[in-house]
């Protein structure tokens, strides 16, 4: 088994690392203290993403992307995940269901999104529908060759940066017809209800959106009517792998900072790393990161080799569950090693400790990941997880 990264893989990793350090890290503290970045800064960062060739890494070159493998995307997202305040989000990943669009949708939505000329957000969650997508009530009532979309969506990440929305709705109230629609953000009937504030400071917003009889044509159906849940699952697989990679990056940066601090901080006549309580925490952090990295990289490689779609879905749940909970444990130890300094917002480990908390919630909570894993275990047996 060859576990070495190729020259191309290492080049992508180096490119992402350079971008994060040069373009993202310098804005961390200002974003944290001010709560937002000026639009001029966001515009410049968008240009920097293109200049560094990191736009559309999850889509083929033929549609304006970079054609990166899943492993290469993982390496990139790991480096970007080292930035606090979710600054990694300035590097866009057009939602995977867009590749199933019509030729016109690919021309008008996917390709411009890859190139940074357009940006989407995904609207699935509702006030009464989160993990249970069967509770989704946003409706798309068919009227001849048109649809009227009505409902309310919550936690629409990056809605303030998007000019169109991928909306998960139920056609004609039929639960068997979950469908994705492409809706312009400025369409008549779309409005922002509010922008809640969350534990972390995030470079973009998480809006609550209301759709009040928003009219779209048949040409705005993404995929087929009734295919929405399956396409959303594909998006979840990609999103969960990205979260896992971001968590790796956050954990690695925190570990490196804590390790350096433990060497410099002297108490009781010796660097604190010489005290067994600190030494054991650092050792545990190293083990956690190494184990998670091995798992995340391996699943990414398996997806590149074309494993079954349902197997990929199950293993993406394993990866997301393990990496997100690992990051929480590592960040908690990093804060503890820094002591009072670890509780200061100017310290990256403090910001990262808040950033990674949501990774156990969004795109499927840890409990939902366990439910998926348990269901696959019951259907396929333990070999799915033990014999690979």
Phi and psi (nearest 5°) for 334? Answer: -60, -45
Residue 129 sits in the same domain as residue 104: no
3-state secondary structure of 196: coil
Question: Taking phi first (over 0 means left), then psi (-120 to 50 degrees means alpha), and beta for anything else, what does residue 160 get?
Answer: alpha
Average pLDDT value for residue range 374-387: 93
pLDDT in tens, 81-128: 999 999 999 999 999 999 999 999 999 999 999 999 999 999 999 999
Question: Taking phi first (over 0 means left), then psi (-120 to 50 degrees means alpha), and beta for anything else, what does residue 113 get?
Answer: alpha
Q: How far is CA 116 from CA 43, 44, 54, 69, 165, in A?
A: 10, 12, 10, 20, 15
> What percent of the chain has a predicted confidence (pLDDT) above 70?
100
The answer on pLDDT for 388 being more than 80 is: no
pLDDT of residue 239: 95
Residue 85 sits in the same domain as residue 137: no
363 is catalytic: yes
The single residue of 126, 363, 367, 387 carrying the catalytic annotation is 363
Residue 182 sits in the same domain as residue 275: no
Alpha carbons 370 and 373: distance in angstroms, whole number: 5
> Which residue, 356, 358, 372, 383, is CA-closest to 317?
372
3-state secondary structure of 73: helix
Residue 218 sits in the same domain as residue 244: no
Average pLDDT value for residue range 204-218: 97
What's the domain count of the chain? 3
> Quick one: tokens of 370?
């366990």
Average pLDDT value for residue range 16-31: 98
> Looking at the domain assignment, is residue 320 inside a domain?
yes
pTM of the model as a whole: 0.96
Boundary (domain end) residue, out of 179, 199, 225: 225
DSSP 129: B
pLDDT of residue 238: 93
> What percent of the chain has a predicted confidence (pLDDT) above 90?
95
Residue 124 sits in the same domain as residue 139: yes
Q: Helices (H) and strands (E) in the chain — how many of each?
A: 12, 10
Alpha carbons 160 and 185: distance in angstroms, whole number: 9
Spatial contact of 194 and 208, defined as CB atoms under 8 Å apart: yes
Q: Residues 154, 310, 89, 103: is their CA dihedral positive or negative?
A: negative
Instruction: Give the CA angle between residues 61, 77, 105 to the nearest 5°.
Output: 35
Q: What is the CATH number of the domain that holds 81?
A: 1.10.540.10
pLDDT of residue 147: 98
Neighbours of 196 (CB within 10 A): 11
Residue 144 sits in the same domain as residue 83: no
Alpha carbons 306 and 323: distance in angstroms, whole number: 22
Residue-range definition of the domain harbouring residue 162: 120-225
Residues with Cβ within 8 Å of residue 324, at least 6 apart in sequence: 243, 244, 247, 356, 359, 360, 366
Residue 273 sits in the same domain as residue 367: yes
> Looking at the domain assignment, is residue 143 inside a domain?
yes
The position carrying tokens 């809605």 is 159
Instruction: Give the CA angle between residues 65, 320, 224 to the nearest 5°.
Output: 55
Spatial contact of 193 and 212, defined as CB atoms under 8 Å apart: no
The position carrying tokens 């997100």 is 324
> Looking at the domain assignment, is residue 288 inside a domain?
yes
First to last CA, the chain: 13
pLDDT-based confidence at 78, cuts 50/70/90? very high
Establish how many alpha carbons lie within 13 A of residue 82's alpha carbon, considering only the half-sphere containing its beta carbon: 24
Alpha carbons 330 and 339: distance in angstroms, whole number: 14
Residue 244 sits in the same domain as residue 106: no
Strand-pair partners of 165? 121, 183
pLDDT of residue 132: 87
Average pLDDT value for residue range 210-214: 98
> Which residue, 338, 353, 346, is CA-closest to 265?
338
> Which residue, 205, 45, 65, 20, is CA-closest to 121?
205
The answer on pLDDT for 181 being more than 90 is: yes
Boundary (domain end) residue, out of 52, 85, 114: 114
Average pLDDT value for residue range 258-266: 98
The position carrying tokens 């439910």 is 371
Cα 263 to the center of its chain, rounded Å:
33
Q: Could you write out the DSSP letters of every residue in 252-273? A: HHHHHHHHHHHHH-EETTEEGG
Residue 205 sits in the same domain as residue 354: no
Boundary (domain end) residue, out of 99, 114, 129: 114
Q: Could you write out the DSSP letters of every residue in 304-344? A: HTT--HHHHHHHHHHHHHHHHHHHHHHHHHHHHHHGGGGGS
């Amino acid at each position: 088994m060859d576990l070495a990264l190729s020259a191309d893989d290492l080049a992508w990793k180096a490119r992402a690392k350079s971008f994060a350090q040069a373009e993202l890290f310098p804005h961390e503290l200002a974003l944290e203290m001010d709560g937002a970045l000026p639009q001029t800064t966001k515009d410049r960062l968008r240009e920097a993403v293109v200049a560094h060739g990191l736009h559309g890494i999850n889509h083929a070159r033929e549609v304006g992307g970079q054609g990166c493998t899943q492993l290469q995307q993982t390496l990139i997202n790991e480096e970007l995940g080292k930035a606090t305040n979710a600054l990694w989000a300035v590097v866009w990943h057009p939602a995977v269901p867009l590749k199933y669009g019509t030729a016109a949708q690919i021309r008008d939505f996917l390709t411009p999104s890859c190139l940074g000329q357009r940006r989407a957000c995904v609207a699935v969650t509702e006030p009464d529908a989160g993990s249970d997508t069967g509770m989704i009530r946003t409706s798309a009532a068919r009227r001849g060759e048109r649809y009227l979309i009505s409902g309310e969506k919550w936690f629409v990440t990056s809605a303030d940066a998007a000019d169109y929305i991928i909306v998960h709705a139920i056609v004609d109230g039929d639960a068997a017809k979950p469908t994705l629609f492409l809706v312009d953000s400025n369409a008549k009937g779309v409005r922002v209800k509010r922008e809640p504030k969350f534990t972390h400071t995030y470079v973009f917003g998480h809006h609550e959106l209301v759709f009040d009889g928003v009219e779209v044509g048949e040409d705005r159906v993404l995929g087929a009517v009734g295919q929405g849940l399956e396409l959303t699952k594909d998006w979840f697989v990609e999103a969960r792998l990205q979260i896992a990679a971001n968590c790796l990056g956050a954990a690695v940066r925190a570990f490196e900072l804590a390790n350096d601090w433990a060497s410099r901080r002297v108490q009781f006549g010796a660097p604190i790393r010489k005290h067994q309580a600190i030494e054991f925490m650092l050792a545990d952090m190293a083990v956690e990161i190494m184990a998670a990295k091995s798992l995340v990289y391996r699943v990414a490689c398996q997806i590149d080799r074309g494993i079954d779609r349902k197997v990929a879905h199950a293993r993406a749940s394993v990866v997301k569950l393990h990496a997100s909970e690992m990051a929480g444990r590592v960040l908690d130890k990093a804060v503890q090693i820094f002591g009072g300094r670890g509780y200061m917002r100017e310290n990256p480990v403090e910001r990262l400790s808040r950033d990674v908390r949501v990774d156990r919630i969004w795109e499927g909570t840890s409990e939902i990941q366990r439910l998926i894993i348990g269901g696959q275990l019951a259907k396929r047996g333990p070999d799915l997880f033990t014999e690979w």
